[in-house]
Amino acid sequence: MKFFFPDSQDLIDPSFDFEHERRSTTRKRQRDDLYAHEVFKATPFDGFLVSKGIVDGYGAIGSRYTLAQRHRLLRLGAPEFFRLDQSPRQLSIMGDCGAFTYVKEEVPPYSVGEVLDFYGNCQFDYGISLDHVILLFKPAADEDGASTELVPREWRERRQLTLQLAREFHQKHKAGGYSFEPVGVAQGWSPLSYADSVEELQRMGYRLIALGGMVPLKSNDIVSCLKAIDAIRNPGVQLHLLGVTRTEHLKTFERLGIASFDSTSPLRQAFKDDKDNYYSSGSNYTAIRIPQVEGNPSLQRKISSGQVSQDVARKLEKACLEAMRLFDEGRWTVDKVLSVLLEYERFYDPDSKKSHEVAYRKTLTDAPWQQCGCEVCRKLRYHVVLFRGAERNRRRGFHNIWTFYQQLEKELGLEQGSAA
């Protein structure tokens, strides 16, 4: 089973000095910053998923690429743009449209021809057909005698439009002589509607089919859909789960035809989640928050309004960083460093009714970064568990991807690199 890592131009600056909070004055982002596959000796994914919606941006959701980067991607192609020659092993690139970026529109903002040319110009290995997400799950619609009103006309029309676009995509792909492999998208609102979409895509000639719209579904609902699909799936047809990671069900997913999946969860949880910020093989941990006085908007507002003293804020921030250094060196106890961290927390967030004391005590007591063998933890040490600025947070996200991939291989009984 392959894991595709969705690209959002998440790179790290190898010149960043964590002790002095500064980066090289000669650093150029595209030339010097590193992708995750350039950080690890054993690449923790099997390929990239590159979204047209992320590259181009749409509506209020801006592009994660600069104009110069978009031009470079189209001019050089994805393999050279992402420097895949620097990867320890061969990586594949899958393209999709980024349907969630235009989910509120009545119809997708792109044409099939535009999508095909984007995939072709970028030199992707796989290209997912143009689709429209269905934000509804109604398994009761499969019951005998169920009212058609359970599923609004808009969602039925989205499914039909997605199938229509997939047919056009397949036909134009064949006529245009594109080198990437076409992937049809199945949308639905119930197990049988998903199965019906897959059956239709098989008749069109698709051998690879992506299942969209399943991100908000519970694991049992996903399994129900996969079982319905498996009942009609042709031999040799493989499935891709868009945006879904459920490691506890990987073997079931694999048995029901899932050959690949993608997700940003391991990266995003590093700085989006309230508690599960740092992955480990045993459990997840809460990252220790030490806000930058100059970089925290909430704290800056309090300083500007005179609510708190900037000098005191800087003193407490510095004390926390020093406490973590001394703790990592074995010179401070958990209780001693915890008292400093909580003093700063009460200062920058006095109205909060939720203390991080219990979570921080677990993180400090176990000190999981000291046992981790990934390149990020070995180099960054305690900085990897500090919730503080993009360079630390993104590196922690890279660590999470590495740990997640280790768990993936363990669940499937694979050795490094054999998941492909």
pLDDT of residue 246: 81
- Of the three residues 263, 291, 307, the one that is the final residue of a domain is 263
Q: Judge if 236 and 281 occupy the same domain.
A: no
Q: Judge if 244 and 312 occupy the same domain.
A: no
Q: Judge if 76 and 54 occupy the same domain.
A: yes
Q: Judge if 372 and 248 occupy the same domain.
A: no
- Of the three residues 263, 297, 312, the one that is the final residue of a domain is 263
Measured from the Cβ of residue 211, the count of other Cβ atoms closer than 10 Å reads 26
Between the two ends of the chain, the Cα-to-Cα distance in Å is 6
pLDDT of residue 43: 94
Q: Judge if 32 and 181 occupy the same domain.
A: yes
Rounded Cα distance, 24 and 35, in Å: 18
The CA-based diameter of the chain, rounded to the nearest angstrom, is 71
- Please check whether residue 347 lies inside any domain of the structure: yes
Q: Judge if 167 and 82 occupy the same domain.
A: yes
- Of the three residues 263, 291, 306, the one that is the final residue of a domain is 263
Q: Which residue has the tokens 């498996």?
A: 230
211: containing domain: 2-263
Q: Judge if 131 and 11 occupy the same domain.
A: yes
Among 167, 188, 286, which residue's Cα sits nearest to residue 242? 188
For the annotated catalytic residues, the residue numbers are 96, 262
pLDDT of residue 352: 78
Q: Is the dihedral of CA 202, 206, 208, 214 positive or negative?
A: negative
CATH number at residue 46: 3.20.20.105
Segments of 53-146 assigned E as strands: 92-96, 126-128
pLDDT of residue 18: 94
Among 127, 133, 75, 78, which residue's Cα sits nearest to residue 100? 133
Q: What is the pTM of this model?
A: 0.93
pLDDT of residue 194: 98
Stated as kind and residue range, the H or E segment containing 209 is: strand 208-211
Residue 350 vs residues 132, 353, 355, 387: alpha-carbon distances, Å? 45, 8, 10, 18
Q: Angle CA(379)–CA(395)–CA(335) in degrees, nearest 5?
A: 70
pLDDT of residue 414: 60
Q: Judge if 143 and 199 occupy the same domain.
A: yes
In this prediction, the residues of the chain whose per-residue pLDDT falls under 50 are: 416-420
The per-residue pLDDT for range 53-66, each reduced to its tens digit, is 999 988 777 788 99
pLDDT of residue 30: 81
**Total domains in the fold of the chain:** 2
Stated as kind and residue range, the H or E segment containing 71 is: helix 67-76
